[in-house]
Amino acid sequence: MLSDQDFQAVRDYLSGTAGLVFDDSRRPGLTSVINERLTVSGASSVPAYLALLQMPKGADERQHLIDAVTVQETYFFRNPPQMEALRRKVLPELLRRTVGRERPLTIWSAGCSTGEEPYTLAMLLLELSPMLGVGSRTTILATDVSAEALAAAKRGVYSGRTLDTAPATLRDRWFEPTSGGGLAVKDEVRRLVHFQSHNLVHDQPPFTPGEVDLIVCRNVTIYFARDTTRALIGQFHRVLAEGGYLLLGHSETLWQVSEAFTLVPVGDAFVYRRSPVSRAPLSARLPRAVRAAQAARVRAAAAPRPRRVPAPVAPSLEAARLALVQGRYDDAASIAAALVEGEPLSAEAYVVLGHALSTLGRDGDAVEPLRKAVYLDPTAGHAHFMLAGSLARLGQNGQAAVSYRAAARSLEGVDRDALAAFLDGREVEELVDLCRRLADISVETDLGEDRLASGGRGA
Ligand SMILES: C[S@@+](CC[C@H](N)C(=O)[O-])C[C@H]1O[C@@H](n2cnc3c(N)ncnc32)[C@H](O)[C@@H]1O
């Protein structure tokens, strides 16, 4: 197993390079990947390997590592309720908008993996355009950071369970058998899709502002910390046209991430629409305590540096909460962890610990403290909500549904002021409604698509 020090160093590298977060539950998987890369590269130790990655001659190895640690789970027509939402609402609406317009219908499949998602979008469009009597001047740009996944996507030949969710009629129409026994995507479909290497965390978006009608970025941000997701969603907002749509994975929401989109329920799924006039960014609508903390931080940064080293913060709930609202999530987690050592029955300390860890993208580590929090205080609706989010991102959809329901029940009728920091200026009813929708979606997903998935995140 990777030592604590090596694990931390590899984690830091991967989070800096591709935004990927690895919590303790993923240490065994990461260990076996790193052991293999050490053998192949001939590096004598983890520090020597990380040094190689920083060198120009380490470029190929950098790519091999990214290929090995990214999770490429995907399949055709993934998540039937979302397919229905695309087929019935989003794509028809966007196709109609292109009538008489110079710019083609422009779609970005961000984090496209081995190509099933963008090819599915192309097939849906090829079916819909003649039905609506609308020409399909369409371009789908599909991007990913994994070179291996992109190579498979460009080959466009598939077999096995990735095809199980493709309706038989569409499979017959848009694939042709290959001599090797697989099914190749037909040229008509391929023509609509262009693949490009792109790192969502480091590269500039491959579009100019307002150029994109639909961004599909599903099951990608579940591997990111919330700050990384926030920055990415800001970029998506810039390149989306007014009224353009964003489709995330079923377990990904913009709650506490962005307010510049409107949630649009469609059947058993929901999509986000770029708001006509972007509301104030989250930071401008933060509760007073948060704004005060931020102002203090700005003042502290401007002030001359004190000579003496500040005394370590005593582990108190107030200190943990302050670190959390100031966005010092690592500090919040370590203060809260120290706190629960001394006070193992403090529900609030577990809430802060779980909140900080889930915000850092460490959902595997967040589940236990959040479970303890709701055990100690079953009325803590925000803890149920965070627990549900972590479980959903880990692929435990049945359990997530139970927690979303518990969150909806506990949050109903809760005083708005009691949850001010958590609500970010929104209404309790909005959160209750979201919990109910997410519960339904998690149940659907548990019964449906996840019979195909291998169980959430893995290394
Ligand atoms: C689980 S797959 C999702 C595939 C598809 N969107 C779906 O939902 O079926 C996640 C993909 O995100 C890609 N990815 C992860 N981090 C990325 C980054 N920083 N930039 C671009 N792609 C990234 C991975 O390589 C992987 O192919």
- For residue 144, the CA-to-ligand 1 centroid distance in Å is 6
Residue 289 has pLDDT above 90, yes or no: no
CB-based burial label for 172 (10 Å; 0-12, 13-18, 19+): exposed
Looking at residue 420, its pLDDT comes to 79
Residue 307 has pLDDT above 60, yes or no: no
In 185-304, alpha helices (H): 187-190, 226-239, 288-302
Looking at residue 292, its pLDDT comes to 46
Q: Span 250-258, mean pLDDT?
A: 89
Q: Which residue has the tokens 């962005």?
A: 258
- For residue 199, the CA-to-ligand 1 centroid distance in Å is 10
Q: Span 144-148, mean pLDDT?
A: 98
**Is residue 193 classed as helix, strand or coil in its secondary structure?**
strand
pLDDT band at 454 (very low <50, low <70, confident <90, very high): very low
Residue 19 counted as domain residue: yes
Residue 144 Cβ inside 6 Å of ligand 1? The answer reads yes
Alpha carbon distances (Å) from 381 to 204, 287, 374, 415, 426: 38, 19, 8, 11, 15
- 453 with 249: CB under 8 angstroms? no
Q: Are residues 92 and 62 in the same domain?
A: no
Residue 73 Cβ inside 6 Å of ligand 1? The answer reads yes
Residue 226 counted as domain residue: yes
| Ligand 1 mutation pick, 144, 218, 222, max ligand atoms within 8 A of CB | 144
- 332 with 340: CB under 8 angstroms? no
Residue 457 has pLDDT above 60, yes or no: no
Residue 406 counted as domain residue: yes
Residue 33 has pLDDT above 90, yes or no: yes
Adjacent-strand bridge partners of 196 = 143
Q: Are residues 219 and 268 in the same domain?
A: yes
Domain termination site, one of 233, 248, 274: 274
Domain termination site, one of 48, 68, 88: 68
Q: Are residues 89 and 37 in the same domain?
A: no
pLDDT band at 449 (very low <50, low <70, confident <90, very high): low
CATH number for the domain harbouring residue 84: 3.40.50.150
Residue 69 Cβ inside 6 Å of ligand 1? The answer reads no
Q: Are residues 111 and 251 in the same domain?
A: yes
Q: Which of 313-327, 414-428, 432-446 has the lowest mean pLDDT?
A: 414-428
- For residue 17, the CA-to-ligand 1 centroid distance in Å is 14
Residue 457 counted as domain residue: no
Which residue's CA is the nearest one to ligand 1's atom 16? 18
Q: Are residues 166 and 258 in the same domain?
A: yes
Q: Span 252-265, mean pLDDT?
A: 91
Residue 344 has pLDDT above 50, yes or no: yes
Which residue's CA is the nearest one to ligand 1's atom 11? 111
Q: Span 416-444, mean pLDDT?
A: 84
Residue 288 counted as domain residue: no
Looking at residue 136, its pLDDT comes to 64
CATH number for the domain harbouring residue 399: 1.25.40.10
Q: What is the pLDDT of residues 94-143, one digit of tens each?
A: 999 998 888 999 999 999 999 999 999 999 999 999 888 887 689 999 99
Tokens in use for 144?
């990913």
Q: Are residues 46 and 136 in the same domain?
A: no
Residue 287 counted as domain residue: no
| Consecutive H or E run containing 105 | strand 105-110
DSSP 23: -
Domain containing residue 430: 323-451
Looking at residue 36, its pLDDT comes to 97
Q: Are residues 118 and 181 in the same domain?
A: yes
Residue 371 counted as domain residue: yes
Q: Are residues 95 and 229 in the same domain?
A: yes
Nearest atom of ligand 1 to the alpha carbon of 66: 25
Residue 373 Cβ inside 6 Å of ligand 1? The answer reads no
Looking at residue 423, its pLDDT comes to 80
| Ligand 1 mutation pick, 117, 143, 145, max ligand atoms within 8 A of CB | 145
| Consecutive H or E run containing 447 | helix 428-447
Looking at residue 57, its pLDDT comes to 95
Q: What is the pLDDT of residues 150-163, one digit of tens each?
A: 999 999 999 999 99
Residue 117 Cβ inside 6 Å of ligand 1? The answer reads yes
Region of 175 please: left (phi>0), alpha (psi -120 to 50) or beta: beta
Distance CA 119, CA 138 (A): 12
| Ligand 1 mutation pick, 220, 252, 445, max ligand atoms within 8 A of CB | 220
Q: Span 206-228, mean pLDDT?
A: 96
Nearest atom of ligand 1 to the alpha carbon of 73: 1
Taking all residues of the chain, what is their mean pLDDT, rounded to a whole number?
88
Which residue's CA is the nearest one to ligand 1's atom 12? 111
Residue 457 Cβ inside 6 Å of ligand 1? The answer reads no
Looking at residue 280, its pLDDT comes to 43
Q: Are residues 22 and 134 in the same domain?
A: no
Residue 74 Cβ inside 6 Å of ligand 1? The answer reads yes
pLDDT band at 418 (very low <50, low <70, confident <90, very high): confident
Residue 297 counted as domain residue: no
Q: Which of 29-43, 268-282, 345-359 has the lowest mean pLDDT?
A: 268-282
| Consecutive H or E run containing 272 | strand 269-274
- For residue 112, the CA-to-ligand 1 centroid distance in Å is 6
Distance CA 316, CA 338 (A): 9
Q: Are residues 24 and 52 in the same domain?
A: yes
Q: What is the pLDDT of residues 161-198, one digit of tens each?
A: 999 999 999 999 999 999 999 999 999 999 999 999 99
Adjacent-strand bridge partners of 265 = 270
Residue 287 has pLDDT above 50, yes or no: no
Residue 220 Cβ inside 6 Å of ligand 1? The answer reads yes
Q: What percent of the chain has pLDDT over 70?
A: 88
Adjacent-strand bridge partners of 246 = 215, 272
Q: Are residues 102 and 24 in the same domain?
A: no
CATH number for the domain harbouring residue 8: 1.10.155
Looking at residue 295, its pLDDT comes to 45
Q: Are residues 141 and 39 in the same domain?
A: no
pLDDT band at 444 (very low <50, low <70, confident <90, very high): confident
Adjacent-strand bridge partners of 212 = 240
Q: Report the domain count for the chain.
A: 3
Residue 111 Cβ inside 6 Å of ligand 1? The answer reads yes
